[in-house]
Amino acid sequence: MRAMNTPTDFQMDWQSALSAISDTNNALFWIALILLGIFLVQLILFIIWGVQARQIRQIRRRYRKLLSHLGSEQGGDLLHQLLTEQESLQAQVAGLKQELAQCTQEMARLKQEQAQHVSRVGMIRYNAFRETGNDLSFSVAWVNERLDGVVITSIYSRGECSVYAKPLSGGQSAYPLSPEEQEAIQHAAASKVLDQNKRTDGNKSTPEVPLSRA
């Protein structure tokens, strides 16, 4: 005799059937998703192909038009003119580059020479002696950007007037410098800086140059 199915057996068969259906649905879902992805990729490739085909047609159209012009005498003259102008422009660019290099070298040379020229002056007037007035004594410093130059001092008194000159190298001198001479050198060193500050913002402080004390 065939054994009868119990309720437990029916429940297990029903669960197995549901599990099989669920697995089938999952498989169909993934298959559909893969097919959709393939379709989208093909669609994108088709769009790209269409754009490229259109560009190729435009290039071919322009190429045929160019060939039609070049086939005539006027087209040949136009091409020759364009090539000639291109060579002329290239020659002009090369010449400009060479002139620019020469100008750069000349500017560097002038800047180096300017650093050696005396371009800064500083002066201070004072009374060397108590019995004299009107600040008739003075010290004047003439220096370049490297602070090379000379400082000249005139000492005035009622009986005589003496003048001294001291060479400078880097703001220093082999001879003792008086406080007035050092101040004149500082004024000379700061004179160009002051002019630049006036053109920008005149409120900036002027840096002092360290000098040897007498």
The C-alpha atoms of residue 185 and residue 191 are separated, in whole angstroms, by 10
Is residue 125 within 8 Å of residue 153, measured between CB atoms? Answer: no
pLDDT of residue 214: 35
pLDDT of residue 167: 92
pLDDT of residue 57: 84
pLDDT of residue 154: 92
pLDDT of residue 14: 54
HEC readout, the chain: CCCCCCHHHHHHHHHHHHHHHHHHHHHHHHHHHHHHHHHHHHHHHHHHHHHHHHHHHHHHHHHHHHHHHHCCHHHHHHHHHHHHHHHHHHHHHHHHHHHHHHHHHHHHHHHHHHHHCCCEEEEEEECCCCCCCCCCEEEEEEECCCCCEEEEEEEECCCCEEEEEEEEECCECCCCCCHHHHHHHHHHHHHHHHHHHHHCCCCCCCCCCCCCCC
pLDDT of residue 15: 57
- Give pLDDT tens digits along the chain (214 positions): 444 445 555 455 555 655 655 656 666 677 777 888 888 888 888 888 888 888 888 888 877 777 676 665 565 666 677 778 888 888 888 888 888 888 888 888 877 777 777 788 999 999 888 877 788 899 999 998 888 899 999 998 888 888 999 999 888 989 999 999 999 999 988 876 545 555 455 444 444 444 433 3
pLDDT of residue 125: 93
Domain boundaries, the chain: 78-114, 117-199
pTM greater than the 0.85 cutoff: no
